Chains A and B, each alone.
Chain A
Amino acid sequence: MRNVDRLCLAHFWVAFGAFLFACLIGTWQMWVRSPLGANIGTPGQYFMSVTAHGVSMAYVLTTFFIMGFGYFVAVTALNRPLPGRLWAWAAFWIALLGVVVTIIPIGLGKASVLFTFYPPLTASAWFYIGLVLVVAGSWIWCVLMLVAMSAWKREHPGQPVPLAMFATVANAVMWLWTTIGVAVQLVFQVIPAALGLVQTIDVGLARTLFSWTLHAIVYFWLIPAYIAFYTMVPRAAGGRLYSDTMGRLTFILFLIYSLPVGMHHLLMDPQHGNAMKFVQVLLTAFVAVPTLLTIFTITASLEIAGRLRGGRGLFGWIAALPWERPMVLATGLGFVMLGFGGFGGIINMGYGMNAMVHNTSWVTAHFHLIFGGSVVIMYFAIAYEIWPRLTGRDHMSLAPLRMQLWLWFVGMMVMTLPWHWLGLQGQWRRVANFNYADPIIAGWGPWVVVSLVGGFVLLISALLFVRNLAVLHRGTVVAVPRALYAVAVHPPKRVPAALNGFGLWNVLVLVLMVLAYGFPIAQFLIEPSPSAIVHRVR
């Protein structure tokens, strides 16, 4: 096994270990909030558990998976050794140390603040310091991705960077921009408060800085799924990518429009006027564009594959697709979840409609469906696709893989559709328990039980996923080397520098951020708002 394979596998196993742990406690959380498990456990235990679940899923699973996947892409798409392998291992250990430093205060009940940084509630400083270490590790990864791409460009002057690597670097560049907001919030506000250096904190400013990070981070998690859509799915389906340019545009649009939109998370917050909220909501609408481009391009690519396989008629090509292949199946299921989740997100984005669903289960349902559903199912598909390349052993049978993907899809739909409905009924989120003796809340009970069933299905699927990968390590079938990345219908021979690098786009991001966040942040410095007393979880 090559050293870089070990590097990737180490990242993936940390990611999926955290994932399995988070699935276990997530199911427990659903159980204690349902009428079946009412009054088991205390609110303290519940919030501790939610914190651990959120941190594991949103920070550990994602960051480690993305780093591991990035190293894999850098080596396989560029077909050259990874630069700075020792740095990569150092980044891994720094991030892993960060995970340990974060998990300990959570386990001691000193960090039950959920996984969002919303002062005045502050956790033990170690919680934040650990997460800073995780981010520091990911920054090293970003630099390595940039170095790998520029080294390749030097060796291949004038040639277009392979799309998979271009997209990975787009994600790295976006992540560097993204983490500025939360880094400023942590270093200047939250960590001093957690350490007791200050007694009050400007909550409005803290929430604004966190919003800077909060939406783009979601695209950081999402982009690996899109990389799979563009660069792996067309090949897995037996076709070609409809348009390479469309892919480049999509990742560029994610870079520029995922950042100046975070204030749509603050629509109900009083510290901003309506004008800047409107501007950011409008920009949010533009972030739907790359997703629509992707749906179009990938559907077109799949149609090419379906017709090459003999599909006829308006929809006949759909049936002709090789649905037995995990990557194709995951894409189909992922698109369905992306559809439902996307429509839900458009509701959240609207200033007026958000008011109806704000802080209800609708929001929880939305991000579970989009992230836990369409993104994570593509993480599974990627893992299934590249594990044989990392271990040299192939899957003995694809049936358990398909079963696992189907269970994940069914479980996610059964869990989140009732949550959407309950959100419309007004069921609030971030509470430890419901009083089902209350006649209004009693009506929610059956739907909560339905969603709990979905939760159990997800847990079974998660266990099956880890089993499928574990089995592979002891498998006897030798993997046959085969091409991974899709070729475009018209492979690009030469692309403009704008579609081969990020200089222009970084300038535009800077301008957009100044216009979208300049005044909202400056107002706190011009006229400081009343500060809140820091509440420290001890």
Chain B
Amino acid sequence: MTMSQSHERTPSDPHVLDQPWRLWATVAVMSTVLMGILLGVVVIPVVQGRGAGLDAFTAICRALGLLPGSPAQPQPLDRTPPTPVSQVVWTPDVLQILARADIAKGRAKVQEVCIACHGEAGVSPSPDFPHLAGQSGAAIYKQLHDYRTGSRVHPQMTDVAKALDESTIPDVAAYYAGQPQRNLNPVTLAESPRAIVNLIELGDPSRNIPPCAACHRAGAGGPIEAPVLAEQHAEYLIQQLKLYASGQRRNDVYARMRLIASRLIEEEMKGLAAYYRAGFR
């Protein structure tokens, strides 16, 4: 029945008029989707799988994502043992432990151990030791772990970290992270040369240097362990950049900081350090 006919006709019962619609609409819609399923789940995988030497069952399972897809040609396995630069893995468990750390326990440990160099509030008296107030908890956690496992080496910190109880590390990290926030946007407090601000905000694509702010802003964008740099000792920052550039410090995942630091000239290191140091209260 076509619609033009139905307009002319005066139907006796709306149900009679509607019956073919219910039937044919269902048939039309179901046949399109079933045809799609037949083609997508069966015909195409089986036909294409035959060319790649797959049996029908494997091909269908792979098309549905039930079996892993893999290149038709097996790739040679790499037998070189991996040498991770850090043993820290950001599993959901680790993140939950960090999120539920006990700040009071952290404070007790800080007053017992860390206070001498990093200060009770995380404000260190000497440029040899970094400020920790308002530092990212994940960053502190990773560095302490890296000292424990030897991924990062320091004459004092290696022993201090090894003496710490595993379970207190998140507490200490959370305590310092909770100290009064540092100014996260230092450029508002100090005038910096345009070239330095550009390096921070835009990077230098011609040298493959990404913007510092891509990771070292307070917000998202970088890896979770990227530390907050604002209001840090300039001398400390320069020292760390030099250690990265020379390869003496090597606990950065994917050698990110080693690559970046090795492309910076000394004036830029100083300029960046001055920028991030700005406005310490």
For window 216-247 of B, CB contacts with A under 8 Å fall at: 217-221, 224
> How far is A273 from B59 in the complex, measured between Cα atoms in Å?
11
Flag if A504 contacts B21 (CB, 8 Å): yes
The yes or no answer to B25 lying at the interface (CB within 8 A) is yes
Task: Tell me what chain A mostly uses at the interface: helix, strand, loop, or mixed.
Answer: mixed
Residue numbers in B under 8 Å from A536 (CB-CB): 219-220
> Please, what's the 1-or-0 string for B9-23, where 1 marks a CB less than 8 Å from any CB in chain A?
011001001100110
Output the residue of B10, B40, B206 with the most chain A CB within 10 A.
B40
Flag if B4 contacts A490 (CB, 8 Å): yes
- Of B92-100, B116-124, B156-164, B168-176, the one contacting chain A is B92-100
Flag if B7 contacts A490 (CB, 8 Å): yes
Q: Could you show 15 A-B contacts with beta carbons less than 8 Å apart?
A: A42-B213, A43-B211, A44-B213, A196-B99, A200-B92, A275-B41, A275-B60, A282-B32, A282-B39, A494-B6, A497-B17, A498-B25, A533-B224, A535-B221, A538-B218
> Please, what's the 1-or-0 string for A513-538, where 1 marks a CB less than 8 Å from any CB in chain B?
00110010001000000010101111
Flag if B40 contacts A494 (CB, 8 Å): no
Flag if B22 contacts A279 (CB, 8 Å): no
Flag if A515 contacts B33 (CB, 8 Å): yes
> Please, what's the 1-or-0 string for A233-259, where 1 marks a CB less than 8 Å from any CB in chain B?
000000000000100000000001000
> How far is A18 from B201 in the complex, measured between Cα atoms in Å?
29
The yes or no answer to B36 lying at the interface (CB within 8 A) is yes
Residue numbers in A under 8 Å from B99 (CB-CB): 196, 199
Chain B nearest CB: distance from A323 CB in Å?
A: 31
Flag if B33 contacts A279 (CB, 8 Å): yes
Q: A433-B202, A537-B219 are in contact. Are A278 and B39 (CB under 8 A)?
A: yes
> How far is A282 from B247 in the complex, measured between Cα atoms in Å?
54
Q: A275-B45, A535-B220 are in contact. Are A245 and B29 (CB under 8 A)?
A: no
> How far is A121 from B221 in the complex, measured between Cα atoms in Å?
8
The yes or no answer to B253 lying at the interface (CB within 8 A) is no
Flag if B201 contacts A516 (CB, 8 Å): no
Q: A512-B29, A519-B64 are in contact. Are A283 and B36 (CB under 8 A)?
A: yes
Flag if B6 contacts A283 (CB, 8 Å): no
Residue numbers in B under 8 Å from A122 (CB-CB): 220
Residue numbers in B under 8 Å from A271 (CB-CB): 65
Output the nearest chain A residue to B138 by Cβ-Cβ distance: A533
> How far is A511 from B22 in the complex, measured between Cα atoms in Å?
14
The yes or no answer to B37 lying at the interface (CB within 8 A) is yes
Cβ-defined partner of A199 (8 Å) among B36, B95, B217: B95
Flag if B40 contacts A274 (CB, 8 Å): yes
Q: Which 5 A-B pairs have the closest CB atoms?
A: A278-B40, A273-B65, A199-B95, A535-B220, A498-B21
The yes or no answer to B270 lying at the interface (CB within 8 A) is no
> How far is A327 from B30 in the complex, measured between Cα atoms in Å?
38
Chain A nearest CB: distance from B10 CB in Å?
A: 7
The yes or no answer to A443 lying at the interface (CB within 8 A) is no
Cβ-defined partner of A497 (8 Å) among B18, B90, B96: B18
Output the nearest chain B residue to A490 by Cβ-Cβ distance: B7
> How far is A147 from B201 in the complex, measured between Cα atoms in Å?
53
B-side residues, CB < 8 A to A, are 3-4, 6-7, 10-11, 14, 17-18, 21-22, 25-26, 29-30, 32-33, 35-37, 39-41, 44-45, 60, 62-66, 69, 90, 92, 95-96, 98-99, 198, 201-202, 205-206, 211, 213-214, 217-221, 224
A-side residues, CB < 8 A to B, are 39, 42-44, 109-110, 112, 121-122, 158, 196, 199-200, 245, 256, 260, 271-280, 282-283, 286, 433, 435, 437-438, 490, 492-499, 504-505, 508, 511-512, 515-516, 519, 523, 531, 533, 535-538
Cβ-defined partner of B14 (8 Å) among A42, A497, A516: A497
Residue numbers in B under 8 Å from A516 (CB-CB): 33
> How far is A516 from B36 in the complex, measured between Cα atoms in Å?
10
Output the nearest chain A residue to B194 by Cβ-Cβ distance: A39
Output the nearest chain B residue to A273 by Cβ-Cβ distance: B65
> How far is A200 from B99 in the complex, measured between Cα atoms in Å?
11
Output the nearest chain B residue to A122 by Cβ-Cβ distance: B220
> How far is A112 from B65 in the complex, measured between Cα atoms in Å?
33
Flag if B22 contacts A438 (CB, 8 Å): no
> How far is A283 from B30 in the complex, measured between Cα atoms in Å?
11
Flag if B7 contacts A494 (CB, 8 Å): yes
Flag if A158 contacts B219 (CB, 8 Å): no
Flag if B206 contacts A42 (CB, 8 Å): no
Q: A199-B95, A494-B6 are in contact. Are A39 and B198 (CB under 8 A)?
A: yes
> How far is A283 from B29 in the complex, measured between Cα atoms in Å?
10
Q: A199-B96, A490-B4, A497-B18 are in contact. Are A42 and B201 (CB under 8 A)?
A: yes
Residue numbers in B under 8 Å from A494 (CB-CB): 6-7, 10-11, 17
> How far is A490 from B64 in the complex, measured between Cα atoms in Å?
48
Q: A275-B63, A437-B206 are in contact. Are A199 and B219 (CB under 8 A)?
A: no
Flag if A493 contacts B7 (CB, 8 Å): yes
Flag if A279 contacts B202 (CB, 8 Å): no
Residue numbers in A under 8 Å from B96 (CB-CB): 199
Cβ-defined partner of B17 (8 Å) among A44, A438, A496: A496
Chain B nearest CB: distance from A100 CB in Å?
A: 22
Chain B nearest CB: distance from A226 CB in Å?
A: 19
Other CB < 8 Å A-B pairs besides A43-B213, A278-B39, A504-B25, 6 of them?
A43-B214, A109-B219, A110-B219, A275-B44, A490-B7, A496-B17
> How far is A474 from B37 in the complex, measured between Cα atoms in Å?
59
Residue numbers in B under 8 Å from A515 (CB-CB): 33, 37
Residue numbers in B under 8 Å from A435 (CB-CB): 205-206
